[in-house]
Amino acid sequence: MSTKAERTTAFIIETVAPVFNKHGYVGTSMSDLTEATGLTKGALYGNFENKEALALSAFQYNSNKLLDKIDEVLAIKGNALDKLFALTTFYRNYDIFTLNMGGCPILNVGVDARDNNVLLSAATKEVIKNVEGKIALVLENGVNNNELKIPVPPLQFAKQFFTMLQGAVAMSTMTNDRKYLMNTVAYLEQLVKKEIKK
């Protein structure tokens, strides 16, 4: 059973995660955080050393939700193609999945933190590597099971695959046009069928 302090900490992280994700580290003020949580500045700092620690916890909360969902998607029964298509199906509705988070945590925090927060920037890079590794494992298993033929090492292909998905997320977000996401996912599915399916 969790203590009152643990429940308060969890409440703060869950409540401020979409605020940080939407407005960025620099763009989020302490008044934004106190307004969102209904807590005083003192109560927030009683649970977190500083704003950076809170922002990092918020990012980890959002990115763990994303990583858990990707794990769930890739854990379906079936071969490597089934898993890749489950992932593209998930990304077809990625903007809907990340809506309550305040948008894509990788895109939002990665761009926002790149030049102004070393810890957040490093955390974003770790999440990217993590996702690429998950995709690479599916590809590697597909090659080993004679389901896929890949002209480059699985990790290299996984990086390109994820780059296209994240690029589509970025364009869709910036233009407010879901077609970027839908068309890129459709293209990736055709690419998989024509280029790497055995």
Write out pLDDT tens, residues 50-107: 999 999 999 999 999 999 999 999 999 999 999 999 999 999 999 999 999 999 999 9
Residue 13, amino acid: I
Percent of the chain with pLDDT over 70: 99
Ramachandran class of 90: left when φ > 0, alpha when ψ lies in -120 to 50, beta otherwise: alpha
**Distance between CA atoms of residues 193 and 19, nearest Å:** 40
**Distance between CA atoms of residues 13 and 17, nearest Å:** 6
pTM assigned to the model: 0.94
* DSSP letter string, 17-48: HHHHHHH-TTT--HHHHHHHH---HHHHHHHS
Quote the pLDDT of residue 134.
98
Mean pLDDT of the chain: 95
Domain boundaries, the chain: 4-196
Quote the pLDDT of residue 116.
87
Could you tell me which residues are beta bridge partners of residue 197?
A: 148
Tokens of 38: 């209904």
When pLDDT is averaged across residues 178-188 and rounded to a whole number, the result is 96
When pLDDT is averaged across residues 174-192 and rounded to a whole number, the result is 96
Cβ atoms of 83 and 74 within 8 Å: the answer is yes
pLDDT tens digits, residue range 97-135?
A: 999 999 999 999 999 999 889 999 999 999 999 999 999
CATH superfamily ID and name for 4-196: Tetracycline Repressor, domain 2 (1.10.357.10)
Give the pLDDT band (50/70/90) at residue 192: very high
Helices 4-23 and 30-37: crossing angle in degrees, nearest 10, is 130
Percent of the chain with pLDDT over 90: 89
**Distance between CA atoms of residues 177 and 96, nearest Å:** 13
**Distance between CA atoms of residues 190 and 187, nearest Å:** 5
Quote the pLDDT of residue 1.
60
Cβ atoms of 185 and 168 within 8 Å: the answer is yes
> How many residues are listed for the chain in this entry?
198
How many angstroms separate the Cα of 101 from the Cα of each of 14, 64, 98? 9, 11, 5
> Can you tell me which residue has the tokens 């957040």?
120
